[in-house]
Amino acid sequence: MVTQILDPTDERVPIKRQLTPRPEALHGTIALLDISKPRGDVFLDRLEQLLHERAPGVETRRFMKPTVAKPAPQPIKDAILEECDFVIEALAD
Amino acid sequence: MHPPTKFSLLDADGQEMQFPPEGPVLLALVKEDCDTCNLTLPLLEAVHRDTDDGLDVWVAVQKRDDIPVLKDRHDLTMPLLDDDALDLSYETDIDTVPTLFLYDEEQNCTLQTFGFDKHEWREIASESMTLAGRPGSETSIDWESLPEQRPGCGARNYEPGVYERLQALKSGDLLSRLVDLASSDDIHEFMYDQGYTDGFPVVPPTRERVWKMLQGTTRDPQDEVAIVPPNLAPITVEKVAINAVMAGAKPEYMPAIIALVETACTESFNIHGVLATTMGATPVGIFNGPIRDRIGMNYLHGALGSGNRANAAIGRALRLCARNVGGSVPGGTDRATQGGPHRLTMNFAENEDASPWDSLAVEYGFEPTDDVATLMAMSGGPATIADERSRDGRGMAGTLAASMSCMQDPKSPMVDTLVVLSPDHAGIFGRSGWSKDDVRECIMEETAIPLKDRLRSDQAGAGLPPSVVERFGGEQALDLPVPKFQDKSNIILVVAGSSAAKFSTILGGWAGGVYSTPTSARIGPGGALEIRGRSGADMDKRRSGGKDLGAFEPNIRRP
């Protein structure tokens, strides 16, 4: 596996991976994505409850991958992108 | 092969062993899958035992996992050192195992050998006994049972792939910033995300690949090749090599790629303008001379694309250098309105054997035996000219003229235009005894139309401004013929392709070819030996028409 390459540029720009800019505050709609791991629903149920208590103006929307073993199907990604401002993914049991 | 003077390796128990030890030492380098090493390891063990504390015998093994194997196989008690990283092997530059170095008590290397030569080994064993304080004593080795000679085996540090890796890591040739990838990164996605590519996948420029690429040129990796616009960034041979790897080039293309980068960055060629223009121009490379066959360029079927590695990779490497080092990125300083597929790579060789004329390089003053690359800035085409009926030069030139008369638009004059004739079309001129200039003169005549027909109008906005009429004498100039081209030398004729059929190709110059001059490099092992802009291409003269004329100076033919 390739782990290092030589920089082909003039090296005046630092190499970095950009994280998506973090918001100042929660607002809008949060996608809660269950990846079909056992008890992901329990975790997300509790998280949803806490979000509604502590961030009353925020809406939540639930999504679920059909299988844990494969990446999310494109329609789910598209729906999250279109309908939601944030996503919280319940990754593992 | 250089006897080491100082090193540090771990032994089989993980203890650090500092070389040289105190007192005399016999150092050997071996590997497991070598019959001669296996033949001689018991001999080294015998020297170790027979010299007792009087002399150290150290054996460096080229693979860590082989140490316990050899230890068990030969019941070895002498220190076995771990040279899995091949640091010692690289420093000593051994190419054969086993290799032996015998040092006296003052750490002078007094004897060395490689492979197995009984006479030499016997001498080393005897000298070892002397250095151990037992002069005249024989070792317990049964020399009579041993063959006279056995060749050694290739050392692991010279195995294909390993050698390049060691050179890349240790030679100090490579100074570019290393970019670390996470184990979860997909290299191709990563490189695309970093903006390193032209949209197609690139070959990851690992240190090994870049080092191998650098072997294609005699030039020092840190030599500055050019200053690349628009960022005016210096580009070294190493940076050219990195981008050449990414483009899919082979090391033998390096001289050509370096030469193209040097040529592109001249004021004469003006890569800054070529790649920044909203017209969407691109460098087109045309190769002449023995280099075409030497590096496997294509000048036959499909010469203009696609399918040939040299043609494709050389042009792509130039573009990647301009992108990654120069910073020419579409939407940034690359302002091409539409661009085109030839902006990925456009590079070919002239089919000199099929041409009835001197090659382009010879026409521009080089020798037929010179390796020459000529860069032209082209924004139009490639457009096909089909003529399967003409049988003589006049008919063929007429077809070319008819096709070329409407380049860009029928009214606007052009300057440089590249005509790539197929061998069949070129052969017609050859059989008719037409020179290149005959063809050009005919095209100049055939494309000449009255000045009034080259003027802008309400029916077609392109063309010359009305003010040009006054400049050339008022209304009486309106009927004077104006050829399509500024000068016959702007009609650039080359031959490429196979004798498949009677189709040729034209490519229009950028802004008529005004701001970039065809520029040629004579190629040597380190890049361009000399660079020449086309003679007679006087850019200042071309611009003297002033703003009203735009870039063009119409060539009015007075009776």
- How confident is the model at residue B171, as a pLDDT? 85
Chain B residues within 8 A of A9 when measuring between CB atoms: 196, 324-325
Look at residue B220 in the predicted model and tell me its pLDDT: 96
B265 part of contact set with chain A, CB < 8 Å:
no
How far off is chain A from B50, nearest CA to CA, in Å?
A: 48
Q: Tokens for B210?
A: 């870049």
For residue B224, give both structure tokens.
């500055």
| DSSP label of B414 | B
Cβ <8 Å between B180 and A4: yes
In a domain, A60, yes or no: yes
pLDDT at A25 over 90: no
Interchain proximity B178–A12, CB inside 8 Å: no
B286: which residues sit within 8 A by CB, 6+ positions away?
B347, B348, B349, B350, B360, B373, B374, B375, B376, B418, B494
What's the pLDDT score for residue B96?
A: 97
Is residue B328 within 8 Å of B235, Cβ to Cβ?
no
Residue B413's pLDDT is 87
Task: Please tell me the predicted confidence (pLDDT) of residue B514.
Answer: 61
Question: What pLDDT, on the 0 to 100 scale, is given for residue B547?
Answer: 30
| A22 within domain boundaries | no
Q: So what's the pLDDT on residue B236?
A: 98
Query: Can you give the residue range of the structural domain that contains A82?
Result: 29-90
Q: Is B546 on the interface with A (CB under 8 A)?
A: no
Q: How confident is chain B (559 residues) per 10-residue block, as mean pLDDT? A: 94 94 96 97 97 95 97 97 96 96 96 97 96 92 96 95 90 91 89 95 96 96 95 96 98 98 93 89 97 98 96 98 96 92 95 98 96 94 93 98 93 90 98 98 96 93 90 89 91 95 93 77 96 62 33 54
Residues in B closer than 8 angstroms to A15, CB to CB, are 177, 179, 194
Output the pLDDT for position A14.
Answer: 78
Q: Parallel, antiparallel, or unpaired for β B116-117 and B178-180?
A: unpaired
DSSP letter, residue B485: B
Position A1 scores a pLDDT of 59
Domain ranges for chain B, please list them. 7-156, 187-448+483-549
Report pLDDT for B549.
Answer: 35
Using an 8 Å CB-CB cutoff, list chain A residues near B193: 17
The answer to whether B295 faces chain A, any CB pair under 8 Å, is: no
Distance between CA B539 and CA B273 in Å, rounded? Answer: 14
Substitution target in B171, B176, B208, B209 with the highest count of A β-carbons within 10 Å is: B176
Q: CB B239 to CB A12 under 8 A? A: no
Chain B residues touching residue A12 (CB < 8 angstroms): 231, 233
Question: What pLDDT band is residue A92 in, cutting at 50, 70 and 90?
Answer: low
pTM score: 0.80
Q: Among A61, A62, A74, which Cα is nearest to A34's?
A: A62
Residue B471 has what pLDDT? 85
- Cα A69 to chain centroid distance, Å, stands at 17
B26, B31, B20: which is closest to B124 by C-alpha? Answer: B26
DSSP letters of A25-70? S--SEEEEEE-S-TTHHHHHHHHHHHHHHH-TT-EEEEEE-S-TTS
Instruction: Give the distance from residue B265's alpha carbon to the nearest chain A alpha carbon, in angstroms.
Output: 16
Residue B537: per-residue pLDDT: 42
Look at residue B103 in the predicted model and tell me its pLDDT.
Answer: 97
Tell me, what's the pLDDT at B513? Answer: 54
Distance from CA of A3 to the nearest CA of B (A): 5
- Kindly determine whether residue A7 and residue B179, on different chains, have CB atoms separated by under 8 Å: yes
Q: Is the dihedral of CA B398, B404, B410, B411 positive or negative?
A: negative
Shortest Cα distance, chain B CAs vs residue A80, angstroms: 22
User: How close, in Å, is residue A18 to chain B by CA atoms?
Assistant: 10
Give the CB-side neighbour count of residue B70, counting CA atoms within 13 A: 32
Report yes or no for ipTM above 0.90: no
CATH number of this structure's domain B7-156, picked from the four choices 3.40.710.10, 3.40.50.150, 3.40.30.10, 3.40.640.10: 3.40.30.10
